[in-house]
Amino acid sequence: MLHALITGANRGLGLEHTRQLLQRGWKVTAACRDPQSASELAGLDTGEGELVVVAYDATDLAAPARLADTLTDPIDLLFANAGLMTRETRTFGSAANEAFIDEMRVNALAPLALVEALADKVAASEMKVIALQTSRMGSIADNDSGGAYGYRASKAALNAVGKSLSIDLADRGIVTVLLHPGWVKTDMGGPNGLLTIPEAVSGQLDLIARAFKNPAMNGRFFHVSGEDLAW
Ligand SMILES: NC(=O)c1ccc[n+]([C@@H]2O[C@H](COP(=O)([O-])OP(=O)(O)OC[C@H]3O[C@@H](n4cnc5c(N)ncnc54)[C@H](OP(=O)(O)O)[C@@H]3O)[C@@H](O)[C@H]2O)c1
């Protein structure tokens, strides 16, 4: 049975990734801050799959090592999906505050800590894919509207982290991809998003399936459409 570990699995894109992978018969280790209150996650139909819910707070740098100690199975897909966008760092004149550090911690540092702790389990798996949920807003080339200082900087930092991971882990057969889901109707994306959550997730899972044994995809920044995005 293929096994995925997904962070931020209690709502939005992470919840839907968990749902669709269970439907496909995967085992999913669904990581979220507060498993007790993750009722939608707990209520998913597991079908032929298997669901394990674990506690994970991205601001806790020791959390990935604890996960590594408790998980015994190899991890075919390690998906760092949890993310944070704050209002406090949005606007010039009031953007330089502690919330900027929070975004860097959750969006860039936490995924690196996760991969450092779990890369051995990915390398021991069949698929060996690491997916980092980034954003087009982290593209410096694509920034033609300004603002969103903390979020943009943290996703640009995640892109830099992902590129280095793709090089450092390549000789272990790991393919690392940076994925932009599109503008999606989630709590973060808001009601005007262009894609529904199921549309974005099925597109991302198609890309992830393509990444299996496909080193040509390693270290690239993909729109959910499959198009390469500029850094
Ligand atoms: N929606 C879009 O249009 C869009 C576009 C580009 C990129 N993205 C990226 O896609 C990812 C998922 O976003 P979404 O749209 O599904 O947003 P969402 O509905 O706001 O979900 C965010 C998820 O991240 C989790 N999270 C936040 N801080 C955390 C922490 N400290 N520790 C553990 N989990 C934490 C949240 O958990 P809690 O419920 O505990 O807060 C939640 O599960 C993010 O990385 C986001 O940047 C989204």
């882990």: which residue's tokens?
Answer: 169
* Three-state secondary structure of the chain: CCEEEEECCCCHHHHHHHHHHHHCCCEEEEEECCHHHCHHHHCCCCCCCEEEEEECCCCCCCHHHHHHHHCCCCCCEEEECCCCCCHHHCCCCCCCCHHHHHHHHHHHHHHHHHHHHHHHHHHCCCCCEEEEECCHHHCCCCCCCCCCHHHHHHHHHHHHHHHHHHHHCHHHCCEEEEEECCCECCCCCCCCCCECHHHHHHHHHHHHHHHCCCHHHCCEEEECCCCECCC
8 Cα: distance to centroid of ligand 1 (angstroms): 6
Q: Identify which of 5, 7, 11 to mutate to test ligand 1's pocket (most ligand atoms within 8 A of the CB).
A: 11
User: Does the beta carbon of 200 lie inside 6 Å of ligand 1?
Assistant: no
Tokens at 191, concatenated: 């009601």
Q: If you take atom 20 of ligand 1, which residue's CA is the nearest one? A: 188
Q: Identify which of 84, 89, 105, 106 to mutate to test ligand 1's pocket (most ligand atoms within 8 A of the CB).
A: 84
- Whole-angstrom CA distances from 128 to 16, 22, 166, 193, 195 are 21, 18, 12, 31, 28
- Judge whether 130 and 115 are in contact, CB under 8 Å: yes
Alpha-carbon radius of gyration of the chain: 16
pLDDT tens digit string along 192-228? 999 999 999 999 999 999 999 899 999 999 999 999 9
pLDDT tens digit string along 179-191? 999 999 999 999 9
User: Does the beta carbon of 105 lie inside 6 Å of ligand 1?
Assistant: no
pLDDT tens digit string along 127-167? 999 999 999 999 999 999 999 999 999 999 999 999 999 99
Q: Tell me the C-alpha distance between 94 and 141, whole Å.
A: 24
| For the chain, domain boundaries | 3-223
Per cent of the chain over pLDDT 70 is 100
Which is nearest to 175 in space by CA: 132, 226, 117, 218?
218
- Judge whether 21 and 4 are in contact, CB under 8 Å: yes
User: Does the beta carbon of 18 lie inside 6 Å of ligand 1?
Assistant: no
- Judge whether 58 and 80 are in contact, CB under 8 Å: no
Tokens at 156, concatenated: 């640009």
| pLDDT band of 41, cuts 50, 70, 90 | very high
Topology, domain 3-223: Rossmann fold (3.40.50)
Q: Identify which of 32, 59, 179, 186 to mutate to test ligand 1's pocket (most ligand atoms within 8 A of the CB).
A: 186
């801050």: which residue's tokens?
Answer: 33
User: Does the beta carbon of 181 lie inside 6 Å of ligand 1?
Assistant: yes
Please report the pLDDT score of residue 115 as a whole number. Answer: 98
